């Protein structure tokens, strides 16, 4: 299984732990990634001109003959939206006038969740891959705004379940998380900090109320908001949240038996130690019970 890998802008900066864990997990599962040469910004949400954003995305898509895979849900949504828009002959003509390599299309765009699920679901014996199942761990799946949009992609935009499916395959328990599709407030954080903070505290409160040990995210912006900004939110509202925020690939990597260093867990702002400690306790307890039976 081979893909053209589109890192996205934040993969080499604030989302470095996502890229590190993405490469580690894909390597462990035999998913080959070939980085797109000379890639550019996907034309993310801050590019208000739709034709310009479509052209930026198209320039990435034409630089490979392979299906394109990205770990960022914003990039995933933007690249897929461009593929949809380029079905319009007029838009395609205008975009191709600006491109050296012309877009022929359509192109296949995948989120990293999809090949991970395909490999795990296709395994003859799941335990050969999931060597350290996440038993006893309760996970709040956070979809955010864009993973399931535009329509026709990875899952239903109204009632998705793909993250819950993956969590169960990894041996953990998905919790009922009412605000799992609520916007993290990232796009309005700078101009409307109060509104963004109110959104963040509601999401974090809901996740904690659900009994989750952690929140699993699929977007670098969501991770930045829920993880890096969590100390600021605690201070602002006078509440102790202390809820680890892990990327989907970090969580998957733990179940695959990859070490914390390979998954970039030390880069997370909120300590992931409570998650690691709970997993260790569960394994020691299971080992003890096994010894008693023997």
Do 134 and 84 share a structural domain?
Answer: no
pLDDT at 190: 87
Do 245 and 147 share a structural domain?
Answer: yes
Do 73 and 21 share a structural domain?
Answer: yes
Q: Give, to the nearest 10 degrees, the angle between helix 89-98 and helix 50-61.
A: 70
pLDDT at 294: 57
| Residue 118 counted as domain residue | no
Compute the distance between CA of residue 87 and CA of residue 84 in angstroms, rounded to an integer. Answer: 6
Residue 54 structural domain = 2-111
Compute the distance between CA of residue 227 and CA of residue 222 in angstroms, rounded to an integer. Answer: 8
Cα 163 to chain center, whole Å?
10
Q: Kindly provide the b/e burial profile for residues 23-47, where b requires at least 16 CB atoms within 10 angstroms of the residue's own CB.
A: bbbbebbebebeebeebebbbbeeb
Domain end marker among 83, 111, 139:
111
| Residue 46 counted as domain residue | yes
| Residue 120 counted as domain residue | no
Question: Contact 26/33 with Cβ under 8 angstroms?
Answer: yes
Do 261 and 212 share a structural domain?
Answer: yes
Domain end marker among 49, 78, 111:
111
Compute the distance between CA of residue 236 and CA of residue 36 in angstroms, rounded to an integer. Answer: 42
| Residue 121 counted as domain residue | no
| Residue 117 counted as domain residue | no
Do 99 and 132 share a structural domain?
Answer: no
Do 197 and 282 share a structural domain?
Answer: yes
| Residue 26 counted as domain residue | yes
Q: For residue 12, what is the domain's CATH number?
A: 1.20.1050.140
Do 151 and 281 share a structural domain?
Answer: yes
Per-residue pLDDT of the chain in tens (294 residues, 90 and over written 9): 999 999 999 998 999 999 999 999 999 999 999 999 999 999 886 788 999 999 999 999 999 999 999 999 999 999 999 999 999 999 999 999 999 999 998 999 999 999 999 999 999 999 999 999 999 999 999 999 999 999 999 999 999 999 999 999 999 999 999 999 999 999 899 899 999 999 999 999 999 999 999 999 999 999 999 999 999 999 999 999 999 999 999 999 999 999 999 999 999 999 999 999 999 999 998 888 766 665
Spatial CA neighbour of 6 closest among 39, 52, 54, 44: 39
Residue 254, Cβ neighbours under 10 Å: how many? 28
Helix/strand/coil for 284 = helix
Number of domains observed in the structure of the chain: 2
Do 277 and 144 share a structural domain?
Answer: yes
pLDDT at 114: 98
Question: Contact 150/199 with Cβ under 8 angstroms?
Answer: no
Query: What is the per-residue DSSP string for 178-236?
Result: TTTTS--SGGGTTTTHHHHHHHHHHHHHHHHHTT-SEEEES-HHHHIIIIITHHHHHHH
Sign of the four-CA dihedral 242, 180, 82, 64: positive
Domain end marker among 82, 111, 140:
111
């Amino acid at each position: 299984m081979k893909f053209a890998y589109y890192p996205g802008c934040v993969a080499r900066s604030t989302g470095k732990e996502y890229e590190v864990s993405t490469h580690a997990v894909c390597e462990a599962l035999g998913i080959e990634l070939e980085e797109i040469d000379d890639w550019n910004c996907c034309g993310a949400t801050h590019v208000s001109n739709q034709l310009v954003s479509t052209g930026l995305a198209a320039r990435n898509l034409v630089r490979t003959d392979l299906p394109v895979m990205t770990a960022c849900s914003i990039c995933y949504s933007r690249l897929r939206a461009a593929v949809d828009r380029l079905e319009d002959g007029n838009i395609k003509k205008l975009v191709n006038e600006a491109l050296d390599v012309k877009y022929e299309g359509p192109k296949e765009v995948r989120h990293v969740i999809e090949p991970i699920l395909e490999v795990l679901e296709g395994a003859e014996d799941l335990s050969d891959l999931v060597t350290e199942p996440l038993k006893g761990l309760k996970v709040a799946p956070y979809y955010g705004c864009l993973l399931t949009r535009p329509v026709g992609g990875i899952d239903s935009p109204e009632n998705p379940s793909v993250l819950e499916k993956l969590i169960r395959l990894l041996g953990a328990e998905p919790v009922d998380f009412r605000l799992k599709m609520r916007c993290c407030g990232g796009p309005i954080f700078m101009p409307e900090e109060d509104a963004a903070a109110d959104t963040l505290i509601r999401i974090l409160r809901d996740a904690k109320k659900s009994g989750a040990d952690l929140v699993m995210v699929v977007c670098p912006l969501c991770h930045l908001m829920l993880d890096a900004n969590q100390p600021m939110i605690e201070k602002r509202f006078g509440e102790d949240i202390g809820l680890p925020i892990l990327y989907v690939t970090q969580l998957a990597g733990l179940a695959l038996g990859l070490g914390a260093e390979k998954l970039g867990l030390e880069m997370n702002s909120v300590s992931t130690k409570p998650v690691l400690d709970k997993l260790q306790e569960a394994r020691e307890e299971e080992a003890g019970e096994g010894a008693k039976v023997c």
